[in-house]
Structure 1
Amino acid sequence: MSGCATVVETPAATGQMTDAEMQMLMFRADSAINGGQISAAEQLYSKVVAAYPNDASVWFRIGTAYLRADQAELAVVALREALRIDPTMEKAWPNLAIAHLSQFRFAANKALASKQLSESNRVTLKSLQADVAHAIAPAPEPTKPESLATH
């Protein structure tokens, strides 16, 4: 070959993307989450986090997607990374707490199924399970006053 050839790598090839591409993928991922397409959202957020590994909001969003997909372990990792990058990101703490509660539920169920669990620990775990279930249960719909219910 004569002359110099300049190879221009595309954002997909380098793992980098423009801010506009990032915003487009984030919009698509947010739309997927809102549409209940959690797996699609995870894939889209993963592409963004690969290109923007120091963006706390991206880690927060993928952590939230993992949480909605019942992948508590991955949610904890992502949410902790968001908080490592931005310790002031207060909105990550509730999701991290819920992810830990999900991990607790899983571990408690395994422990309760074990023959190695003492009776006192079994009673304690069952009590904690009830407390956790009550704490994260959806709030009941408010009842309408009688005067409004008949109209």
Structure 2
Amino acid sequence: MRKLQSCGCAVLLLLFSGCAVLPGNPDLPQRSDLFQLSNDAQLAYEAGEDAKAEQLYMALLRKTPNDPEIWFRLGNLYARAHRPDAAADAYQRVLSINNTEHRAWYNLGIVRLRQGWAAMMQAYGHSAPGTPVNTESERMIGHLERMPGLPAVNKNEAAAKK
């Protein structure tokens, strides 16, 4: 009886080990391909090759569209390239997948603050001195310029654009 059990276990082991070497679904991306693509995208990003990095990240997203890390990296790429709307969209995509991703919340906040700052600078620059919009936008700029991570404020340049 013991010999029969041992023989049965050996057969099961052979069957299960055979499963591990069966080819996977050809429609699914292979793990090594995804790793290489991700590595290439990160290297392009670090080298400042933004167009190449974006293409590689988009290729990754076609294979794994719900990967929050890829969306996060793409958001960082867009933020660095001064594409705030695209960056915000990418960070919001991260949050739609994982709403507890604190890095995406933080970066989205920074992008939105910068957009608010730019809008206030435009309001200030295009409004007549002493008007309510000019006064309020100047006040808001004063608050925003004390925040780290925002560009240096030069209200004289904004006023010169009038």
Does TM-score exceed 0.5, indicating one fold? Answer: yes
Distance 1:81 1:126, change over 3 A: same
Q: Is the 8 A contact 1:39 1:69 kept in 2?
A: no
The residue aligned with 2:106 is: 94
In the alignment, does 2:116 pair up with 1:104?
yes
Measured on the aligned residues, the alpha-carbon RMSD in Å equals 2.5
In the alignment, does 2:44 pair up with 1:32?
yes
- Equivalenced residue count is 125
Letter of the aligned partner of 2:33 in structure 1? Answer: E
Letter of the aligned partner of 1:73 in structure 2? Answer: D
Q: Is the 8 A contact 2:54 2:77 kept in 1?
A: yes
CA distance in 2, matches of 1:32, 1:127: 41
TM-score by length of 1: 0.70
> Structure 1 residue 37: deviation in Å?
2.1
> Structure 1 residue 118: deviation in Å?
7.2
The residue aligned with 1:69 is: 81
In the alignment, does 2:31 pair up with 1:19?
yes
CA distance in 2, matches of 1:83, 1:112: 33
CA distance in 2, matches of 1:27, 1:127: 46
Letter of the aligned partner of 2:139 in structure 1? Answer: S
The residue aligned with 1:50 is: 62
The residue aligned with 1:142 is: none
Q: Is the 8 A contact 1:111 1:117 kept in 2?
A: no
Q: Secondary structure at the match of 2:122?
A: helix
Identical columns (%):
27
Structure 1 unaligned residues grouped into runs of 5+: 1-10, 139-151
